Every structure is written in structure tokens, then in C-alpha cells.
Amino acid sequence: MATSAEMSGTVQQIESIIQTIESKIDVSSQQHSPASNSSSTKSEDSGLDDGPKKSVTSAKPISRKSSRMSQSSGVSLPPVLEQLEHMIISDDWLGSESTSPSGLKQHAQVAKTRSREGQKLSELGRTLVTSASLKSYIDLLSSHHRQSIASWLYGNVNHVFSNLFRFADSQIYCSDPEATISLSIRNGIGHAVKLALKSSYGTDHSTKGWRAFAEQGAPVVYVSPALHMDLSSYLASEFGIADVTILPKLDSDRGEIEGRIDHHQFEKILDEDLAAGKKPLILIGVVGTTIMGQNDMISKILEIREKKAKFWLHITGQAIAALTFREPNNILVHVLSQVDSMTVPIALWLGIPSAPVVTLHRPVEGYKASYREKLDTLPWWVASSYLSGKKIVDMIENAFLLSKVMLKGLSAIPEVEMIGVDNPVELANRVYKNKFTPPTVLIFKYNYVSIKNAIQHHKDLIQNNDDHDAIAIAEKTLQDELEYGDYLNAWLRDGLLPESLPLGIDTIELGGNYGIAFRFCPLEHAATYSSHIDHVQRFVRKLTDIMRIVESTVVSKLKFSELKDDFPSLVLLPIRNWAGIGAVCYIPSIVKETNPEDWNDIQKQQISHLNLELVHQLKSVDAAFSSGDCTRYGVSCVKFGMLSDVKDLHNLVEMVAQKGKEIENSQQYLDSLAHLIRQGIEAANEALRKENDQRLQNEGMMRQLPIMGSLVNWWSPLTPESQNIRGRAFNLKTGEMQETDVLFKSKKNMDATPPITKNETPQIPHEPFATKIDEEPTSESETAVTEEAVSSAEEAKPVESS
């Protein structure tokens, strides 16, 4: 029997350790994090070396109020706790130079940064960690005492969750904690399979093993296509079940993203398995998928079960949370109360760390929860007692309220496409009238109409059996439009980042012709980030403003090609990884008559040098301009960024053409180019002279004599490397001297795999052109003074090279 002093001392010791660890993590995070004015409570590493590593036993000893200071092994307890404390606070001990390759050092630093995120525990989190330690303490009690505690905890938690999810007479099972939520849910599904085996095969499965399958028929597990989990290997290794059938998807336009069970096809498969002598064991359905928020038609599956064969029906998914509403949908309660079991990641919904995934199931004859399974409910007894049922319902209803407000806000923005929602305005109205439950997940993106037109055009060509060339061109156009659509959404993601963080909004790759999209799932993040309606409204306002910029940019991009006839000195160039309007290249008059496909290296250098200087001058006026590389022609170009007003497009292009003409006609540019080439030639000659002197020094004097040199070379021939004199090339674009063998190798690699420019579209759009005009001097006297000052400055300053 444990004494009150021992219990009090144990609890105080655990709380003291947790507080010490958290305080040291805070100090360590402040030392590694760069100074910032951010109000975020999460710490980040600077990525720099931490300096000399502290020894394991150099940590400050933890004060202990318990009188038990040693273990039976004779090891003093405080040093052991110090070592454990050091391992938790820092991961410096994980990788040393002697045990890990140097290439993994940077990866270890990244892991350290991530491991420290979110480690500040709330009062509930600290209580849960303490209760986990007390589970081991309970094991030390007498058999009857610990069994009584476990049974009381199990009955209490069972009652709370049965009422919460309106699952009468259910029993609870807490999955063993795993590395991810998905694995914990898999353990819950495994428990349901174990119950289904016991329900279908009785005691034969536990006594006869696989012989029971041979006598009564092999079990078949049916899995929804929306589960996103591989159960085949798990069920085969754990239960010896070989037949795991992924059911066909219901035909729909969005089936390539995520599908629901086709109950007609399931009925046919069920008939075939029964005819083959197999035994349908369990069907695993999804109510509230992770991507689209769709539901399998559980009511249809229940009808099939009544008509065809008895099998266990297990469900999982996020829409099960709607059962906890104060006034839930009666049809939903009626249907889901008929299933045999359900697995719910309620710890994720409530933002509770260290709490297990919960599985509720109907009673099974011959099954009784073990002592360990009962004791595993301790974290949920602590959480439910701390939060109370009312607080749990409030947190879940708040998540659905955020989804409701977000749906209303997104439906009011015409440029937003909501994946899986044909009429967002009508859906939002029905949700606000309480006819529909708010969706658990919202997937949205920029509605780029050109993608839909390209898809339809491609389909029409295939249906009409047009020639292969036309279909190939349509495919290329479609891929270009899909790629540009992803760049636009990636730019949106970066611009909305401050507003997205409090809501947990992230981007996902949907695949197919859908590309990148935003995903908002308040059930997963609202409790963790303490999200509220103000965060949603702030996000919608920012999205509305930034969508105007995207829409103006897309319209300007369509008109961009129409302006090339007005400015013959500019050539439109294809460029990748860019969400802006596009890219142009100013062509000097000396190479204007040459086709871009026929530009030689000298012409490319001249064009690139001029355009780099052009970008340099444009950026001083408008920061949205930037330089880029056109891999198709191998020249530098001028990239236009995002545009907030379509009316400014013509003025921007005109400004680029005028600036380019000024640079081309300026004596400064010509002198700079000539001086740059002269310096490059002199540097190349100097490098060749030094290399030749070095070669002569290495060969020695004897090899330079006419007859003696031949004998020495015959007796000890030189290696090809020592005879090779590398040429020199001066790169006008970079201003660097390069050896020709390096240049040839890089040129060969460039031809084999052309580099892809990173998506670095500036978040700041082009400034309104009226602003630039207002900033210029208006009076004639001011203009004259300004021109005189500029002329004097240009005469005074030396010639510069770009």
C-alpha cells in the first residue's frame, strides 16, 4: 500500500523535472534563435553550431523532495535523471563526427529545430505527462488494488465517451501510442478486426488458428478507397488475413483525388466472395475523408449487410465529430449508431498531447477488457475531468463554426474555386440555415479558367480523333497552364502565410489536373492554435485583396503577347517557375535581324550584359522587376512581377523599351562593355602566362634543351595532365574567369539537363504607374536643374562595369 508521503513526493518530483526541462528548453531556444520582434511562442534554431558540447553529467542537479534517493542497482538517481533531462532538452548527443557521416550534420540541425517546436506544455499537458508516470506507479500496487483502480477508470471513461458519441452500451479501447496519428488509427482498426474475428469465428480462432479459416471460410476485409492507409501487410502479419480488398470508387469527376465506396460494385464483389466460400469479415468505411471531407454511404452498406451477409462494420473519419453536437443531425445519429465500432482521433481534435486514439465498439460475447486496456484509459479520465463534457463539445463546435464562417467568406470571392463544391453560395446558405452540417475540410485554390479551357479543348480533340500533332500541342498547352496555375497558388501561399499560420492552413498536391490547393481543416488545428472567428475573417480579407492582384496579373499575361508588335525591340521569352506576367528580352539593334535560334555565343553575351544592366536600372524604380535566365535561348531577360492594375501594363512595357534604348545608346554602356572585354582578355593572357611558367618550372630545365629534352621525355614521359594547358574564358554575365574545361563540362550538363529557375516571384506587385509620374519633377525649372545635376554626375563619375 502506497503512503501519502510517497505519492506526494513522486508527483512533486515529476512536476519538478517537467518544469526544469521546460525552463532549460526556453533558455536554449533563446540562445539559438535569432532576435526577432515576432510574437510567436515557438522557438527556432538559428542553424549555427552550438559550440562545445556539454558533458552529460554537467547539468544542474534536480532538487528532490522524495526520500527515495537510490535504486536497487546502487546507481544514484539524480545523475540518471540528469542524463535523461539532457537527452530531452537537446539532441546534440544523437550525432557525433565519429558515428555519423558529415553529410548528415545539416540534417541533424534541422531535426533539432523541429524537435523543439511545440514543447511548451499547457497545464493539461503537464498533468497528462504526470499521469503517464503514475500508470507505472499503479502497477506496483497489490493486484486487487490496481485492478480496482483500472476498473473504476475504465467505467468512468466508458460512460463519458458513450454519451459523448451517442453510442449506447459501447466499450472503449485506447490504442497504443505510435509515431503518427495514422499508425494509432491503424491500431484501432486492428482492434476492430480482432473483435470481428472473435464475433465471426468464436473461440475457434484463438484455439485452432488458421484451421478455423479452412473450416469456416477464409476471412475477407473490405477497405474504403478513401482510407489512405495500407492495411494488407499489417493484417497479414498480425492476424494472418490474406484477402484485403480495396473497394472500387464511385464514378465521379473528382474520383482521381479521392473516392467513395461504389456500393453497387461492393454488392457484386460480396456475391462473388460468398460463392467462392469466403467469409466476409469486416468493412472499414470512412465518414469524413481527410482531403475532400466526403462520406461513404453507410446507410446503403447497412442495407446490403441486412440482405446479403452479416459482417462487422467499422468506421473512422472526421465527420464522426458531428455526433458530439448539442443538437446533432437525427439521421446521422440513427445511421452511425448501427455500426459495430468507430475509431476517432479525438486527441487531435482537442489539441491534447500524449492522449491515445479512441475506439468505441459494441459488446462482443467472450471478450473482456484486460487490466492493461482498462488502465490505458487513465489519460482520458484526466482529460475529460479537466475539460468536462461541456468544454469538449464547445471546442468541437468551435471548429465547425470556423468551417462555416470560412465557407461563407470563400463563397463570396468569385476568383476562388472550391474543389468538390459545385455551388459554394448555395451550400453556404444551406449550412447557415442549418440544413447541412458544415464541411470538415475545405479545399480551395485560385480559379484559373485557362486550365479548364485547355482541358476541354484537349478532350474535344481526342473525341474527334484529330491528328496526333494537334493533340500533342494541346497536351503541351495544358501542361503549361497547369504549371502556371501552380505558380500562382504558390505565390498566394507565400503571401497568405502570416494569416494562414493561426488557422493551420497548408497546401497539398491533389494530383491529376488539380495541382496545388489550400487545405483548411479546423478540427485538426483549431484547438492547437486557439483559432477563432477573427482569424478567419482576417484571412478572408487578405485573400480578397490579394486575389485582385492575381486576377490582374492573369489578365495582363493574356494581353502581354499582344504588345510585342508595338515594341519591336522586345522579344517575349518563355520562362518557368514564375507567377508574374512574363519575361522579355531587349534586343540590341546589332543583333535584331538575327533569329533567336541562331544567336551565337558573342551575341548572347551582348544581349545578357545589356539586359542585366537594364534590370539593375529598372529595380531602382520598381522593385517588382527582376532578372532571369531563359534556358531555351541561353540569355538573361527582364522578368515582370505581379500587377495590381491592368491599365499599367502598356506603360510598364514602354518603360522597359525606353530604358533599354537609353542603355544601348549611352556611351557609358559601350565604354563599359569594351572595358570589360579588355579586362577579360588581359586577365586571360595573364592566367595563361602564369600557367605556362608553372609548367616550365615543373618540367625542369633539362626538358627544355633540344637533344637532352628528347632523351629525358623518352626516359620519363610526361603525363597528359601535366602537358595540358587549360584555356581561359571570361563570362560577361557573371564577370568571372573560368577554365575552358570547366566551361565545356557545364555547357554539356546544361544541354543534357536544362536548369529550372526557382519560383522567386516577388510578393510586392508593380507600383501603380501614376505613382511614378507623381514622383517626377513637374516644373520646367525643376526639370532643368535635375537634368543638369544628372549630367554633371555622369561626367564626374568613372566608367563602371556591370
350-391 pLDDT tens trace: 998 778 999 999 999 989 999 999 999 999 999 999 898 899
Give me the mean pLDDT over the 170-191 stretch: 89
Q: Looking at 343, 361, 387, which one is the last position of a domain?
A: 387
Look at residue 708 and tell me if it is in a domain. Answer: no
d(CA 784, CA 16): 76
Look up residue 575 and give its three cell numbers: 520562362
Look at residue 728 and tell me if it is in a domain. Answer: no
Give me the mean pLDDT over the 629-652 stretch: 88
Please answer whether residues 157 and 384 qualify as being in contact, where contact means their C-beta atoms are separated by less than 8 angstroms.
yes
Give me the mean pLDDT over the 550-559 stretch: 91
The answer to whether residues 318 and 431 belong to one domain is: no
| Per-residue confidence (pLDDT) for residue 488, from 0 to 100 | 93
Look at residue 406 and tell me if it is in a domain. Answer: yes
Please answer whether residues 362 and 341 qualify as being in contact, where contact means their C-beta atoms are separated by less than 8 angstroms.
yes
Q: Is 292 left (phi over 0), alpha (psi -120 to 50) or beta?
A: alpha
pLDDT digits over 585-606, tens only?
998 887 777 787 778 877 888 8
The answer to whether residues 366 and 239 belong to one domain is: yes
| Per-residue confidence (pLDDT) for residue 731, from 0 to 100 | 54
Name the DSSP class of 327.
Answer: S
Give me the mean pLDDT over the 294-307 stretch: 94
734 has a pLDDT exceeding 60:
no
Least-confidence region, from 195-204, 476-485, 740-749: 740-749
Give me the mean pLDDT over the 144-160 stretch: 94
Give me the mean pLDDT over the 434-461 stretch: 90
Q: How many CA atoms within 13 Å lie on the side-chain side of 669?
A: 20
Give me the mean pLDDT over the 700-712 stretch: 68
pLDDT digits over 333-345, tens only?
999 999 999 999 9
- DSSP code string of 292-325: S--B--HHHHHHHHHHT---EEEEESSGGGGGGS
Give me the mean pLDDT over the 715-727 stretch: 63
Instruction: Tell me the β-bridge partners of 359.
Output: 173, 343
Residue 288 sits in a domain whose CATH number is 3.40.640.10
pLDDT digits over 69-98, tens only?
334 333 344 676 667 666 766 666 665 443
Band (722; pLDDT cuts 50, 70, 90): low
The answer to whether residues 149 and 254 belong to one domain is: yes
Look at residue 293 and tell me if it is in a domain. Answer: yes
Q: How many CA atoms within 13 Å lie on the side-chain side of 474?
A: 17
- Alpha helix (H) residue ranges in 501-532: 522-529
Look at residue 220 and tell me if it is in a domain. Answer: yes
Give me the mean pLDDT over the 714-741 stretch: 59
Q: Looking at 623, 652, 671, which one is the last position of a domain?
A: 671
667 has a pLDDT exceeding 80:
no
Look at residue 291 and tell me if it is in a domain. Answer: yes
Give me the mean pLDDT over the 390-400 stretch: 95
- Alpha helix (H) residue ranges in 322-377: 330-336, 346-350, 371-375
d(CA 128, CA 763): 43
The answer to whether residues 240 and 192 belong to one domain is: yes
Helix (H), strand (E) at residue 748: helix 740-752
What does the mean pLDDT of the chain come to?
78
> Is 416 in a helix, a strand, or coil?
strand
Degrees to nearest 5, angle at CA 19 with 85 and 133: 70
| Per-residue confidence (pLDDT) for residue 222, from 0 to 100 | 96
The answer to whether residues 422 and 298 belong to one domain is: no
Per the model's pLDDT, the better-predicted residue between 645 and 8 turns out to be 645
pLDDT digits over 495-549, tens only?
998 999 999 999 999 888 888 999 999 999 999 999 999 999 999 999 999 999 9
For the beta carbon of residue 405, count every other beta carbon within 10 angstroms: 21
Cα-flanking dihedrals φ and ψ of residue 662, to 5°?
-60, -40
Per the model's pLDDT, the better-predicted residue between 751 and 666 turns out to be 666
pLDDT digits over 7-61, tens only?
566 566 666 666 666 666 565 555 544 444 443 333 333 333 434 333 333 333 3
Number of domains in the chain: 3
Q: What single letter denotes the amino acid at residue 318?
A: Q
The answer to whether residues 483 and 626 belong to one domain is: no
210 has a pLDDT exceeding 90:
no
Please answer whether residues 572 and 583 qualify as being in contact, where contact means their C-beta atoms are separated by less than 8 angstroms.
yes
For the beta carbon of residue 220, count every other beta carbon within 10 angstroms: 22
Q: Looking at 551, 586, 604, which one is the last position of a domain?
A: 551
The answer to whether residues 424 and 280 belong to one domain is: no
The answer to whether residues 414 and 368 belong to one domain is: no
Please answer whether residues 469 and 550 qualify as being in contact, where contact means their C-beta atoms are separated by less than 8 angstroms.
no
Q: How far is CA 350 from CA 124, 291, 384, 429, in A?
A: 11, 20, 11, 28
| Per-residue confidence (pLDDT) for residue 47, from 0 to 100 | 34
Nearest to 771 by CA among 648, 643, 646: 648
The answer to whether residues 377 and 483 belong to one domain is: no
Residue 521 CB partners (closer than 8 Å, separation 6+): 290, 318, 440, 441, 442, 504
Give me the mean pLDDT over the 603-624 stretch: 87
Please answer whether residues 350 and 318 qualify as being in contact, where contact means their C-beta atoms are separated by less than 8 angstroms.
no
| Per-residue confidence (pLDDT) for residue 96, from 0 to 100 | 46
Look at residue 800 and tell me if it is in a domain. Answer: no
| Per-residue confidence (pLDDT) for residue 787, from 0 to 100 | 41
The answer to whether residues 316 and 420 belong to one domain is: no
793 has a pLDDT exceeding 80:
no
Look at residue 645 and tell me if it is in a domain. Answer: yes
460 has a pLDDT exceeding 50:
yes
E strand intervals along 604-709? 626-630, 635-640
Please answer whether residues 57 and 79 qualify as being in contact, where contact means their C-beta atoms are separated by less than 8 angstroms.
yes
The answer to whether residues 328 and 426 belong to one domain is: no
Q: Which domain holds residue 470?
A: 400-551
The answer to whether residues 319 and 179 belong to one domain is: yes
| Per-residue confidence (pLDDT) for residue 40, from 0 to 100 | 39
